[in-house]
Amino acid sequence: MKLSKAVIKKYGISKKAWAVQRGMSGKKRISSSIRKIKKTRRVRTMAKKKSYKRSTSIFGKLNTPLMGSAGVIAYESFISPMIPLQGVAKDMLELVGGLYLSKKKGFIGATGKTLVTLNAYQLLSGVVGNKLQGLLGNSSTSTYEYNPMEGY
C-alpha cells in the first residue's frame, strides 16, 4: 500500500497520513448490528456400514418353526421327563425357560420360541377350558387324545 499524493500534500509522510490512508482504502466499514454472518454447516462423512445378504435356506420362513419343533421333540424326549413337577407348575417352568431361550439365536432360540407357544397354549387352554364352547355354539372339537397303542 502506498500513500496517495493528496494525503502526502495534506499530512506529509507521518503516522497520521498512514492512518488516513488506511481509512480511505477500499474497505467499507459496516456496523456490527448490520453485519451478516454467514454460518456454514460442518458435515462429517462416515463410511457406510457394510451389509451382507443373509443366506436363506430351502424352507425360507418355515426354517425357524421346523427347527423349533425338532428342538421341542428332543426336549420332550430327553429333558422333560427329568423335571419332577407336573401340571401347571411344569408348564410355567417350561414357559419361563422358553422365554429365556427365545432370546438366543439359531436352533436354541427357535426351540425357545416354540416352547413359549406350546406352553402358553397349554396354560390358556387350562384356564379358559370349555367356556368359549358355549359362546361359539356347538363345536365339533373334542379333547380326544391319540394313544398310539390303541390305534384309530
Measured CA to CA, the distance from residue 90 to residue 97 in angstroms comes to 10
- Count other Cβ atoms within 10 Å, centred on residue 97: 18
Which one has a higher pLDDT value, 106 or 35?
A: 106
Which one has a higher pLDDT value, 83 or 148?
A: 83
Q: How high is the pLDDT of residue 56?
A: 67
Measured CA to CA, the distance from residue 133 to residue 139 in angstroms comes to 6
Please report the DSSP string for 67-105 in residue order. Answer: HHHHHHHHIIIIIGGG----THHHHHHHHHHHHHHTTS-
Asked if residue 116 has pLDDT above 90, the reply is yes
Q: What is the mean pLDDT of residues 89-101?
A: 93
Q: How high is the pLDDT of residue 117?
A: 94
Which one has a higher pLDDT value, 70 or 49?
A: 70
Q: How high is the pLDDT of residue 33?
A: 56
Q: How high is the pLDDT of residue 27?
A: 60
Domain boundaries in the chain?
Answer: 60-136
CB 31, CB 76: distance < 8 Å: no
Q: How high is the pLDDT of residue 96?
A: 94
Q: 370349555: which residue's cell?
A: 130
Which one has a higher pLDDT value, 91 or 145?
A: 91
User: At residue 3, what are phi and psi to the nearest 5 degrees?
Assistant: -75, 135
Asked if residue 104 has pLDDT above 70, the reply is yes
Q: What is the mean pLDDT of residues 38-59?
A: 78
Measured CA to CA, the distance from residue 5 to residue 27 in angstroms comes to 19
Among 43, 8, 35, smallest CA distance to 24 is for 8
Whole-number Cα distances in Å, 119 to 55, 64, 83, 101, 103: 31, 17, 15, 14, 17
Measured CA to CA, the distance from residue 77 to residue 40 in angstroms comes to 68
Q: How high is the pLDDT of residue 144?
A: 57
Q: What is the mean pLDDT of residues 51-56?
A: 75
Asked if residue 95 has pLDDT above 90, the reply is yes
